[in-house]
Every structure is written in C-alpha cells, then in structure tokens.
Structure 1
Amino acid sequence: MSKLPVYMVMHDALKEDIQRGKYLVGELLPTEPELEKIFNVSRTTVRRAMELLRQEGIVEIKQGKGTSVVDFRAKQDLNKVTSVTESLRRKGYIVRTKSMYIDTIPASEKLAEELQVDVGKLIARVQRIQLANERPIVIMKNYIPYDKVSGIEEYTDKFSGLYEFLEKQYNIEITNASDKIYAKSADFTESEMLNVPPKTALLCIRRICYNHDKPVCVDQISVLADHYELEVSMSGRYK
C-alpha cells in the first residue's frame, strides 16, 4: 500500500485538529517555522499543506499576518426551505455541478407513498455531484413525477440549484418541506464519488418537498459532515 505524501499527512493532521476544536474560528495557526518543527518537515511541505487547506475553505492565508481558521461549514436553517446549493452559495462557496444524469424510473412503493402517486408511475430522477470551490462535497438524487417536469432530461448540465430551476422553468414553487436527518459512513461508491476514504462521516437528508402541502419532489442528499451543519430554533417543552 502506497504511503500518503508528507504534505497530505500534515494537511490531514491539521484538519483533524481544527475539526476537533484545537484551533478555533478566527484563531491563528502556528507560524511556518513552528509548523516545520512540529511536523519535522520542510518549508515547501508546510506551504503545500496550507495551500490545500486554503483551497478547501478551511483557512485563510494573509501575507504578513499568518494563517487563520475560517468558519468553513455551510449552515442550513431548518426553519426555512433552502437547498444545499443555496446554503453553500450564501457561505461564499463557488458551487458547480458535476456528472449530472437524468433518467426516468417507475415509482417504488416508498416513492409512491412519499409523492402520493401510484406505484409504477413514471418518475424523473436527477443525479449529480455538487462541488464547492472545486471540491466534491454533496451527492444529490432528486425524484419528481415526470408529468410535472416533462422534458427535464433536455436540461442535463444546464442548472445547479434544483428548486430555483423548478420555479423558473416549470412554475413549481417549493413552499414547505419535511426532512429526515441521519448520519452514516460513506460506502465505497460514495467515497469514490466524493474523493474521500471509505467510512468518512456523511450527513444525510431525506426530504419531501411540497407545494402548499402537495408533494412535488423527494430529495436524497449525502453531504460531507465536516462541511455542513443544520440549525433549528425550538420553543416550548414537549409534555
């Protein structure tokens, strides 16, 4: 088994320290000379590791001031219907879609129940990977009754945010949604798609989107857990 390059080992160690809270948002990382001593590496190795962290949106490098940790997690407010794409863009990421594939499938029992259609009804399936600053972080699958989006396959690779596209192209407005949220480890296929090791933590969302309480699509979202967080406001105690 081949070993990771030294700069990747350093990158992974620093990233883990940041995720565990050793270095907080806004805090400066050790200087380049200090990192050379900590990791027993060259200045070139330090700079390659720092540049990779910068490209991932985890740190900010300012000449003469040092390298600081930034708030890199995209936040989704669960009190409003927003897509992952919209949340990433609000965070300042440049979002791009990769490997979009649109086909049709018959509705399974589960999809039929979620979309309130007959089993076997023709469903448009939209599959794609979302990149944030050129790093793949989200696997998306969307299921929509085909009679609501006839001809959608002609728009392959021509949109990024599905909700905005549905509203503009098909006059379908998403007014409310229900989410089931769970965590899982990336399997081999998911790890290959996201370019991460198998068993990397994923945050998964199974969402049913509605137009005034009528279901219009089902989303299956798997996002790298270290780049995304959910926020919800609650009031009152359950008794």
Structure 2
Amino acid sequence: MPIEVTPPKYITIINAIQQRIQDGTYAIGSTLPSESQLVQEFSVSRPTVVRAMEILRQQGWVDAQHGKGRTVRDRPATESRALPAHTTALLNATEVGDVTILQAGEVAAPPRAAAALRLPEGAAVIARRRLMRVAGVGPVELSTVYVPTALATDSDVAAQEPLTGGVLSHLADRAGVTLDHVVERVSARIATPEEARLLELPERDALLTLLLTVCDSAGVPLLAVDILIPSSRHELEDVFPLG
C-alpha cells in the first residue's frame, strides 16, 4: 500500500486560519480565537498553536500585540520571486517523448492531495499519474497531478492521451483560471514496493518528494502535483541573490 503523509498539525491550523480569513469568517481587524480555544478546537498542544500563529504573523496574516491577542491583517502582499528552475521544469513538463501516462481518471483524493487542495479526504478528484524516463538513465520521475473535478470538467486531464502543452497551460486555457503562485513542500521517504518497481530502484531506496500546490491570487488551491524522484538520479540546484 502507498505511504500516505498527513500534514503536520501546525500546517493544518495555518491552512484553516488562512481559509477563514479569505472567506470572511475572520474579518480584517477582528480578533482571532485565543490560544486555549484553538488548542481545544484542533486537539493540539499549546506549542503547536503558538508555532502556527508565529508563522502566520511572519507571513503577514495576523498582528500580535501583548495583552490584546492576535488580530487579522489584510491579505499580505506577495513578494515577487522568481520560480526556482527545478520547479519550473517540473510544472511545465510536456507529456510527449519519454513520458508514459499510467493512469488518468476520477479517484478518491488521498490524504496528502486532499490536504493540499483543502478537500475532505476521499473527495472525488481527477488524478493523472505519469512516469518520465531519460535515455541512458532510466525512470527519473513518478508524478501524479490532482485536479478538483469541477475544475477539470471542460478539460482533457482525465484523458489517456498526452497533453502536449503540459497540464498547467492546458487548464489555464480550458478552465479559464489564472495561476498565481506555487507552494512547494520538499521531504523524503522510502519508496513503496510499487514505486520501486516503476522507478526501477532497489528495495527500500530513498525518494525525494515534492508537493507542488498551484494557487490563484486569493490563495485558493487549483491543483496539486505530487512528485517522486529517485535521490540517486537527481540533484536540485538553484541560485538566489543575497539581500
């Protein structure tokens, strides 16, 4: 069975608070629930709540004043930053040449994808699973694109045929959505037997995992891409300016 990864509890709190600010549940200038209330609501420890609130403060979602609690700020302005080269390549990859479509169609969202898309676990989504090979190297990437069914209705994401322009440009054209920014989460784990077989890896070899969540300008997730790459066949490198 595939290994499903549940997001850390502080991430669950951050996602919930951001969603409530965006949908108006917590109005700009209003006071957030106390730490004790959040501890009770999310069934977590106080340090977990404090960590989530500090990240929200650093990101500009809330203000914290001693003795007055935490209040909601306007949606923070997103600092312009170039998309890392490896993320650009992963998101814009076409499905021609050495890409095999392993699966395309409606599935129940696994926990990792559901959390990224802010959907209930098991909600219907369109999944597009792909295996990429490089001549002389072998399989270098196993990825699954998850798209909410409502967004995929007028698209070919569920088709078995390759999308020559890539999934992002296809959805932008067909669904008429504007893709604004990407949230990237990087982790590592041991490959499952099925993953090791598809990627032609030794049993229990390590995988680098990248979860890319593509959002609109309001921060609403539009699609998620769960990418598995063999650590022995990839090296990610980027250059960033200082200051």
- Higher mean C-alpha deviation, range 105-114 or range 181-190: 105-114
Question: Of 139, 142, 159, which aligns to 1:155?
Answer: 159
Separation (CA, whole Å) in 2 of partners of 1:195 and 1:142: 21
The answer to whether the 8 Å contact 2:157/2:167 transfers is: no
The answer to whether the 8 Å contact 2:126/2:149 transfers is: yes
1:9-52, Cα deviation, whole Å (9 max, x unpaired): xxxxxxxxxxxxxxxxxxxxxxxxxxxxxxxxxxxxxxxxxxxx
Residue of structure 2 in register with 1:78 after alignment:
84
Separation (CA, whole Å) in 2 of partners of 1:109 and 1:228: 28
Runs of 4+ off more than 6 Å: none
- CA change 1:96–1:165 in 2 (3 A) is farther
Structure 2 residue runs without a partner (length 5+): 1-81
1:191 aligned onto 2:175: no
Residue of structure 2 in register with 1:103 after alignment:
105
Residue of structure 2 in register with 1:169 after alignment:
174
Structure whose residues are more often strand by fraction: 1
Separation (CA, whole Å) in 2 of partners of 1:85 and 1:139: 13
Separation (CA, whole Å) in 2 of partners of 1:111 and 1:85: 16
Structure 1 residue runs without a partner (length 5+): 1-75
Structure with larger Rg: 1
**1:222 to partner: Cα distance:** 0.3
Question: Of 120, 126, 129, which aligns to 2:128?
Answer: 126
Secondary structure of the corresponding residue to residue 128 of structure 2:
strand
Residue of structure 1 in register with 2:230 after alignment:
224
**1:194 to partner: Cα distance:** 1.0
Pairs aligned (count): 156
Separation (CA, whole Å) in 2 of partners of 1:110 and 1:227: 23
**1:113 to partner: Cα distance:** 4.0
Separation (CA, whole Å) in 1 of partners of 2:201 and 2:184: 25
- Supply the AA of the counterpart residue of 1:133: A
Residue of structure 2 in register with 1:115 after alignment:
117
CA RMSD of aligned residues (A): 3.2
**1:116 to partner: Cα distance:** 3.1
Identity, in percent, stands at 15
1:71-92, Cα deviation, whole Å (9 max, x unpaired): xxxxx953895242647x8xxx
**What is the TM-score when the length of structure 1 is the normalising length?**
0.54
Secondary structure of the corresponding residue to residue 139 of structure 1:
strand
- CA change 1:131–1:110 in 2 (3 A) is closer
Separation (CA, whole Å) in 1 of partners of 2:97 and 2:235: 14
Secondary structure of the corresponding residue to residue 201 of structure 2:
coil
